[in-house]
Amino acid sequence: DARVTQTPRHKVTEMGQEVTMRCQPILGHNTVFWYRQTMMQGLELLAYFRNRAPLDDSGMPKDRFSAEMPDATLATLKIQPSEPRDSAVYFCASGFEGISYEQYFGPGTRLTVT
């Protein structure tokens, strides 16, 4: 049963520290998405990759967030420096793009910045 995996599942850090979240998409999928979920804002799209190339990161705060895909099996989301307002659950999803397609979500990384 192919699944998207995310590490770590939980992260508590102090303000100002660097945070790196990792995602392993489902093998064969060519799109990867990063979402953030908070009670106030709901699910927000942060970044979107197709064939490892960034297509849309308009939802991501550029000054402190960065998203990359070093290879087809790994996507990373970094926050540097982290702030308390970054506390949220971060989800990674992958899919195979076509005329219509679904996204498969990972279990999320719960980030708490104190």
Residues that bind another protein (CB under 8 A): 4, 31, 35, 42-43, 45, 48, 55-56, 91, 93, 97, 100-108
Q: Are 112 and 101 in contact (CB under 8 A)?
A: no
Nearer to another protein, 81 or 89 (CB): 89
Nearer to another protein, 18 or 44 (CB): 44
3-state secondary structure of 30: coil
Give me the least distance between CB of 36 and another protein, in Å please. Answer: 11
**Residue 89, beta-bridge partner list:** 37, 110
- Helix or strand holding residue 97 (H, E): none
